[in-house]
Amino acid sequence: MKLYSYFRSSAAYRVRIALNLKGIAYETTSVHLVKDGGHNRRPEFRAVNPQMRVPALVTPGGDTLIQSLAIIEYLDETHPQPPLLPKDPVARAKVRALADLIACDIHPLNNTSALRYLKNELHQEQSAIDTWYHHWVVTGFEALEALIAPGPYAWGNAVTLADVCVVPQVANARRLKVPLDKFPKIVAVDAACQALMAFERARPENQPDAE
């Protein structure tokens, strides 16, 4: 498989974790999201993904998949072990809700494109942009902290889709200096996951395009 990725993209980070957990070999093609205004805006990448975002995954059959959660569910369906969603329908819905809380509510408001728009189009100062970033992470983490099940992982004693989303979001929060003192459950989940090689190998600093 070929993964179009950027080392700092939390969405691509999710997919790297899932690929590693499943033991799937993949080739990384870096798409720098910042340099020269963003290499994702170049015509050659737009031909890969019209949304001009990473990740994009090219399957063995030549299909190109976009959107991290859709890609991860494809991987879970085609490579069922280890499963990233519980068998019980209620538990599956709750794990998906934890993942969506991050991927649909926190992340889009703090994505590179949103922050760039605040700066370049709305002419906000960096201090105001940082306040925006912190606000949405803290608001989301307050809910996430209350919803996490007894560990060591976000939903019990097995890694799930929720953990695959939690770890990259915590990495982003730390990079942008969001205080995490109020979120001991989230910090504990991150620590438990980071002890696993699949998460370690997926870390941004361990990618071939890390700067």
Q: What is the CATH number of the domain that holds 53?
A: 3.40.30.10
Residue 208 lies in a domain: no
Helix or strand or coil: residue 174? helix
Task: Give pLDDT, residue 170.
Answer: 98
- pLDDT, one tens digit per residue, over 120-178 is 899 999 999 989 999 999 999 999 999 999 989 999 999 999 999 999 999 999 999 99
pTM of the model: 0.95
Domain boundary among 61, 82, 103: 82
Per-residue confidence at 114, pLDDT binned at 50, 70, 90?
confident
The per-residue pLDDT of the chain, averaged, comes to 95
Same domain for 74 and 22: yes
The answer to whether 5 and 207 have CB atoms below 8 angstroms apart is yes
Per-residue confidence at 110, pLDDT binned at 50, 70, 90?
confident
Domain boundary among 82, 101, 129: 82
Task: Give pLDDT, residue 116.
Answer: 85
Same domain for 110 and 26: no
Per-residue confidence at 206, pLDDT binned at 50, 70, 90?
very high
> Residue 30 sits in which domain range?
2-82
Q: Collect all residues with Cβ–Cβ distance below 8 Å to 92 and sequence separation of at least 6.
A: 85, 86
Per-residue confidence at 37, pLDDT binned at 50, 70, 90?
confident
Rg (alpha carbons) of the chain, rounded to whole number: 17
Distance of CA 77 to the CA centre of its chain: 19
Same domain for 33 and 110: no
